[in-house]
Amino acid sequence: MTRRPRLLSGRGWLRLASLRTTFAVSFAAITAAVTVLVGILSYGAAARLVRVDQQSVFDEIVQDLRGEVAERRMDPEDFSSAPGHDFVRPARTDVQVLGPDGSVVDPGSPGLPVTGADRDVAGAATAGRLVEHRDVDVGDDVYRVATVGLGGGRGAVQVAQEFSDTEDLLRALQQRTLLLMAAVVVGAGLFGWWLARHITRRLVILTSAAEAVARTRRLGIDVPVTGRDEVGRLGRAFDRMLGRLAQSEEDQRRLVQDAGHELRTPLTSLRTNISLLRRIDELPPESRDELVADLTQEARELTDLVNELVDLAAGQSDTEPVQRIDLADLAEEVAGLSRRRSGRRIEVRASGHTTAEVRPGMLTRAISNLVENAAKFDSEGLAPIEIVVAGPARPGTVRVEVLDRGPGVAAPDLTRVFDRFYRAADARSLPGSGLGLSIVREVALAHGGAPFAHRREGGGSVIGFTVGGG
């Protein structure tokens, strides 16, 4: 049973903790900036509206008073606060009445200060004359004061509005705004931390898997990451990457094991014959010739085996660039080269759409292996070797097959001819390593296709592969 890797090392936790902290602090900072901006703008707008509203109300009261004293004759007694007078004193205002000499005849509550300008208005002949005072300190409060003359030297009326209570209201609003902003910032920080922890939870799993792979060098680690967002896509891509690396590692391990097994036989035979060289002077001439011939053949087979192993390993690489080529033209090139090497008749037939996105070097090697395999098993060469390239109706998928008139592949061997180092019983006496068709399979799989083999009607074999998958 595979043991699940531990989640994170100390440094891994520090890195993710830093990421979480950065995310939470950034979220809180952005929220704080927005909250402060909105709070300042909201408070400024509210304060401006309150002050303008208070000023408008006070100005309206003063203008009404000026209009009233200008329309009809009024005396200080008309504004008295004593019972029996019907003067309506506006709410949240203080009214104080001055005599002709500017003296206070009916004090306000609280009493308002009287300046020289106020006395001049009280003794003025024109009704509705006005003098205003801003930010007047009366006790612990601040007032706005407007003095309106009654005209004819009969006195004046002072109307005052408390300014400090409005400012107290605004200060209370400011304090509440600051408290609300602080609460929002703290809440945003906590929510940001929770959100960062929720988001980075899957990153913790990915980091754990990556560190486990680096620490144990085991690629078969499950990456249980879900979701359709970027983190989920990253997890699935990481899981696929580990799967491909594990498969590549397994292929390399199996290749090394198979190669080691196959190399032992020619090396053992070569070592035995080399040991006979020490007694070559004792051997008759016929035995000497046989020994040299055996050494030459074994060296050739060993060289061919090594070359095919190199080709097989290179065939698993995706470094060769993909090109769009016509496989019929590629088959014709392979056929021409094989004719010159073997002197055999090789015919190429093409039909349909035979152009595909492939790696030319790999495809050339695969088709050459098929032709060499056909020539080896059809040694008499009475009939030509045929290369058929056919493109079906679906573009991008091309079928390549090589037909011969040899003894054919036995039915039990049809499913194993593409295995590495596999050689049928009737082919073990022939030269070869059993890697040629294995290379064909690797090339086909690398191009999204598959190899195939079946017996040919009338005798012989049909062996080939497809490229492209859709």
Please provide the DSSP assignment of 344-368 as one string.
Answer: --EEEEEEE--EEEE-HHHHHHHHH
Q: Are 332 and 294 within one domain?
A: no
Q: Are 92 and 102 within one domain?
A: yes
Query: Cα-flanking dihedrals φ and ψ of residue 179, to 5°?
Result: -65, -40
pLDDT, the chain, mean: 77
Full residue range of the structural domain in which residue 252 is found: 219-318
Residue listed under structure tokens 């008749």: 345
pLDDT band at 262 (very low <50, low <70, confident <90, very high): low
Q: CA 99 to CA 153: how far, in whole Å? A: 9
Q: What is the mean pLDDT of residues 206-211?
A: 76
Q: Are 121 and 249 within one domain?
A: no
Q: CA 355 to CA 386: how far, in whole Å? A: 19
Q: What is the pLDDT of residues 292-332, one digit of tens each?
A: 887 787 777 677 667 666 765 665 555 678 889 999 999 99
Q: Are 39 and 94 within one domain?
A: yes
Provide the CATH number for the domain around residue 373.
3.30.565.10
Q: Are 295 and 371 within one domain?
A: no
Hey, how many other C-beta atoms are within 10 angstroms of the C-beta on 109?
9
Sign of the Cα torsion 325, 326, 329, 333 reads positive
pLDDT band at 378 (very low <50, low <70, confident <90, very high): confident
pLDDT score, position 401: 93
Tokens standing for residue 433: 């390593």
Q: Are 309 and 380 within one domain?
A: no
Q: What is the mean pLDDT of residues 255-265?
A: 66
Q: What is the pLDDT of residues 130-176, one digit of tens each?
A: 898 887 888 777 888 899 888 888 899 988 887 766 666 777 777 88
The total of structural domains in the chain comes to: 3
Q: Are 338 and 385 within one domain?
A: yes
pTM for this one? 0.44
Q: Are 325 and 313 within one domain?
A: no
Q: CA 412 to CA 381: how far, in whole Å? A: 25
Q: Are 56 and 143 within one domain?
A: yes
Q: Per the domain annotation, does 12 fall within a domain? A: no
Residue 7 above 50 pLDDT?
no
Q: What is the mean pLDDT of residues 270-286?
A: 79
Q: CA 274 to CA 19: how far, in whole Å? A: 67
Q: Are 125 and 33 within one domain?
A: yes
Percent of the chain clearing pLDDT 70 (strictly above): 80
Q: Per the domain annotation, does 176 fall within a domain? A: no
Residue 2 above 70 pLDDT?
no
Residue 216 above 90 pLDDT?
no
